[in-house]
Structure formats: C-alpha cells, structure tokens
Amino acid sequence: MTALRAGERLVGLGTNKTLTCGVVALALIVRVWVAASGNFYWDDLILAGRAGTYSAFSPDLLLYDHDGHFMPGAFLLAKIVTAISPYNWTLPVITLVVLQALAAVAVLRLLRLILGNRPIVLAPLVFYLFSPLTLPSYSWWAAGLNSLPLQIGLAWVAGDALLLCRTGLRRHRVSGIAAFVVALLFFEKSVLIPFVAFAVVAVVYSVDGESAPLRATWRAARQLWIWSACVGAVWLATYLIVVDQPFTLASRSMAVGLLEHGISRGLLPTLIGGPWAWQRWQPSPPWADPSVLLIVLGWLGLVAAVVGSVRRKRRIVPILVAMAAYVLASEAAMVLTRSGPDTSYELGQTLRYVADSAVIIAIGAALIVRAPDRRARPHRLHRSAVVALVIAFLVSSLWSTRTFVDSWRDNPTTDYLATARASLAEHTDVPMLDMPVPTDVLLPFVYPNNLASRVFSPLPDRPQFATSTTELQSMDNKGHVVDADVSPTRAITQGPNPQCGYRVEGTTVARLPLDGPLADWEWTAQINYAASKDGELVVGLTDGKDVRVPVRQGLHQVYVRVIGSGDALRAYPITPGLSVCIAAGPVGGVLPDLPR
C-alpha cells in the first residue's frame, strides 16, 4: 500500500492537540449560541405534530413522504424528543449540538487521515466548522436532522474507506456500512455517500502516484462498495415506493436564475466568510444577501484559489472537477425538485441545498494540499500568511453568524406556541373544533399538518379537538383561546312544524334545507335543538361526510363541523327512541372574538 502511504496513521494530536481542541470547542460554543437563539419553526411543527399523533413505529410516522423527503430516522428521533418533553426547545438544541459535535469529529478524523498530524489541517477544519454555508440548515431543527447526519456520513464513511484500504481490517467495513445506513435514514441525499468515499480514496491513490487509481480503489475496498450498493438498492426501492416527488423541468430562465442566485449570491460569498447580511420574508427562513463587492470578492477568491492550486500542484484536476460536480449536482437537485411558477430566486440563497458542500470543500482542500508540488523546491506560503487568511475568514464568518442569528430570532412561532400552550391548558374542560394555525406559522398547503389538532397533539394539557362542541371557542392569531361565533354564510331555514321546526326521529333521514348552496369546504353549523333524552345524532351536508353528534335531554345548542357541499343538512338519530326538534340556525365559518 505504498501509494496510500501506509506508514501514515492516525496518531495523537501531539503539539497541535490544544489548538485543535480549542478550535473545535470554540465552534461548538458558537453553535450552541446559534441553536439556543432559535426556536421551533415550520417543519419542526410538522415533525412534532406527527410525533404526537402516531406511535413510534407507525408507518404513518416513519414512512411519511415529507415534501419529497424520506426521513424515518428524523421522525423517530423527533418522536423520542417530543415524548420526553413536548415543545421544549432545549432538547432540539441538544440534538443539534450533539450531531454537530459528531460531524466535527468525523471531519477532523478524515482530514488527519488525508494530511496526517500537520498544522495545515486546521485550515480546512476551520472552514468547515465556522462556514456560514451550514448555518441555515443547522439552526432549523428539521433541516438539521437531514443535513447533519449527511455531513457525518460523508466524512465518516470516507475515513473508513481510507482506513480499510490501508489496514484491511473488517471493522472499518462494518463501521462504514453502519454509518451509511444511519445517514440514509435521515436524508435521501445520503445515497451519494459511497460515491464520495470512492472518489476520496481514488484521488488519494492518484495524487500519491498510483497508475490505476480506480482499479486500486475497487480492489482495496471491494466489500465496502458491494455492500454499499446492496444497501443503496434496497433503500432506493423503498424510496420509490414511499415518495411521490416528480422532478420539475424548470424553464431555462428559472433554472439560470436559481443557479445564479445559488452560486454567485449564495455559495461563493461563504467561501470568504460571507454573506455578512441576511434578509427574510415571513414566514420564509433567512437567505444570504451579500453586497456586490462581496460577490466579486467571492469570484476573485475562487479564481485565485483554482489558478494558484493548478500552478503549484500536480494531479489536482480530478479534485477540482469532483468538487465542482458535487456542488452543481446539489444545485441541480434544488432546481429539479423545488422550482415552480411561484418559486423565488432567493430560494438558492437560503444555502440549505448546498450545506453539505462545506464537507466536500474541506475534503477537496485537504486533498489539494496532499497533492505533489510541481517544483522540487516550491515557494511556500509563509505560515503567518496562512494564519492571517484563516483568522480573516474566522472573523468574517463570525460576523455573518451574528447577523444570521439577528434575523433568525424574528420568529412569530415562538410567541404563538408559548401563548397557545398556556391558553390551551386553561381550557381543557370543553372540546374545541379543529382549525388551522396562522399562516405565518404554517401555510395551508401543508394540510392537514397545519391543523391545531395536529400541531398541539403532543401537549398533555389541552382540550380535546372534536367534530362538535357545546361551547364555540377558537384561537386567535396570537394563540389565545377566545369565545367565537358562527359567521353565517348560509342558514338552516325555519322548519315546517311551528312547535318543533324539523323533527328528527326513527329511521328516516330528515332534510334540513339551507337558504342557499354551500361549496365544498369545512363549515360549522349551529344546531339549536330540543332532545327527548341523551343520545347521538348523525349530521352531514347533502354531499359530505357524516358526523356523530352527542345531544343532551332538553333545550340546547351544539356546534358541528361538517365537511362537504350541498343545499341542505341531513340528520338522523342513532340512539333508539331518541326524538330531536331542530330549529333555524347559521352555517358558515368560525369568527373568533378578539381579546380586549
């Protein structure tokens, strides 16, 4: 294994131990601050809501097609976190920080396998640990549960592949396959992990002078590649069964616009610690908003790095091509899966779709450093110049991190959840009709995950959400539970019996005409009734789902959520001997009373 420098091995940190540990510790402290500054947001509520609705190993939880994502591991972890303490942000912070720490260890391990115990390891390590490129996906819990396991898998499996080629030990094959499987459970993009690992080993062979690097890579870790292919095939079959996510053929202008925003205004400024500034439109997440100067500097920095590397190093063209291919593939995946007539170009500037490129760039930089020099005695950069560049990047990145946190803190969901949690706990005695949460918390297109019954399902202290209630209450946009009324769109007309209105009894289905037709929607009917005894009615629209409604003996009101369309309500008793008189009443939407 001379081509892989078999004499190199992972040894103690030596004289670099304190500095390396300090850099990692500082990065984790910063990431703790970033995570603690956030709160539950958007998809986090979907994860928690489904965790509160379904059992831990329910297919409805683990095999859910989450907007094209197949992520059973993320849903299972969300189930555990939610079961321990629902909507307690401390636990997601812990999961994010732990995953980030594991990613830091995996990347450090791989960089030292490539470069040995050299101080230059700190340069790509600092880039990975502090790059704003990973901030948006890290700070958002749901996104972090996708991105961080992928980052761990990319670095760990590549490291195991190198160790397997160097030592031949079976444990590295087992460890690599296990890391691949775990990453696949959290994010479908993890299917790329074996390809990245193969490329890393092949490039190491190539820069070390191996004449047939691809063949050597296959032979040295054949079992790892075969088992990875088997795992990937099983996963792919499952993914195609579970997920219905057709690719979108974007228009040329849309594709060009997304790529330009994603690369020039998104990725490139992060290479020098940008973007320094962020913008957002509620309820969207922040996106990078670099100045023109920073965009130009990003391009100049990239060109200088590529030209300088090519002039100084041999056998690095495959490295540059592989890095560019990975980034462009990530951007292309964004265009194919997220573009549409309502897509904004700023989507590319959110950086979530290329966050894992931080690992690829760090690996690529290390491989370039490992590559042989073109000259026998090359002119080397002075250590102080390298240190100055690293410090400048660190300062720039920390400033971008601070401005990101300022933008990320502007989250209406934080106050809404706190208010709703307290208010729901004070109104546990009467069932509530279901309703969507405000649009700045979850938009309607995620229905039914935007319903209050789903979002607040993990909370132990809350009213039951039902299809009927004796007291009409609703939640306002701040999260307060307030009294409500039926805002009439239509009305049940006066019945033919002056003393009874519409009599509902026996086995006959009574028809309760409305004063006009209703479109297909969710409506609330105020049923004013007098019942001969306690029992149950079935109520529904002409074309719609039937609802079982409890009634009490005597004169009462009940509010019923009916779904469907038609020009009349249908009603019949299911309790033997029950007779009910129903009077006129409104049918429409629910209008909450605003708190004074």
Residue spans of the domains in the chain: they are: 2-39+89-408, 485-592
pLDDT at 345: 87
pLDDT at 377: 65
End-to-end CA distance of the chain: 78
Q: H helices within 140-251, ranges in order?
A: 141-167, 170-186, 193-207, 213-220, 222-242
Helix (H, G, I), strand (E, B) or coil at 582: strand
Contact criterion met (CB below 8 Å) for 112 and 158: no
Number of alpha carbons in the 13 Å side-chain half-sphere of residue 257:
13
CA–CA distance, 190 with 69 (Å, rounded to integer): 11
Q: Are strands 585-592 and 535-544 parallel, antiparallel or unpaired?
A: unpaired
CA–CA distance, 51 with 44 (Å, rounded to integer): 10
pLDDT at 595: 47
Computed over its alpha carbons, how large is the radius of gyration of the chain?
30
CA–CA distance, 471 with 463 (Å, rounded to integer): 12
Segment 206-215, tens digit of pLDDT: 999 998 999 9
Q: H helices within 493-554, ranges in order?
A: none
Contact criterion met (CB below 8 Å) for 533 and 578: yes
Contact criterion met (CB below 8 Å) for 139 and 34: yes
pLDDT at 14: 45
CA–CA distance, 86 with 51 (Å, rounded to integer): 10
- From the list 358, 346, 407, 423, the residue with the least C-alpha distance to 130 is 358
Q: H helices within 282-382, ranges in order?
A: 292-312, 317-338, 357-370
Q: Are strands 554-573 and 547-551 parallel, antiparallel or unpaired?
A: unpaired
pLDDT at 172: 97
Q: Which two tokens stand for residue 38?
A: 């956030």
DSSP 415-468: HHHHHHHHHHHT--SS-EE--BPPTTTS-GGGTTTTBHHHHTTT-SSSPPEESE
Tell whether omega for the bond before 496 is within 30 degrees of 0, i.e. cis: no
Answer whether 0.75 is exceeded by the pTM.
yes
Sign of CA dihedral 579, 583, 587, 590: negative
* Residue that has been written with the tokens 């990692």 in this structure: 24
pLDDT at 343: 79
Q: Which helix (H) or strand (E) holds 53?
A: helix 43-53
CA–CA distance, 418 with 426 (Å, rounded to integer): 13
Tens digit of each residue's pLDDT, the chain (596 residues): 444 444 344 333 444 788 999 999 999 999 999 999 999 999 999 999 999 999 999 999 999 999 889 999 999 999 999 999 999 999 999 999 999 999 999 999 999 999 998 899 999 999 999 999 999 999 999 999 999 999 999 999 999 999 999 999 999 999 999 999 999 999 999 999 999 999 999 999 999 999 899 999 999 999 999 999 999 999 999 999 999 866 666 678 888 899 999 999 999 999 999 999 999 988 889 999 999 999 999 999 999 999 999 999 999 999 999 999 999 999 998 888 887 777 788 989 999 999 999 999 999 999 999 999 887 665 566 678 888 999 999 999 999 999 999 999 999 999 999 999 999 999 999 999 999 999 999 999 999 999 999 999 999 999 999 999 999 999 999 999 999 999 999 999 999 998 999 999 998 899 999 999 999 999 999 999 999 999 999 999 999 999 999 999 999 999 999 999 999 999 999 999 999 999 999 999 999 874 44
pLDDT at 342: 73
pLDDT at 20: 92
CATH topology of domain 485-592: Jelly Rolls (2.60.120)
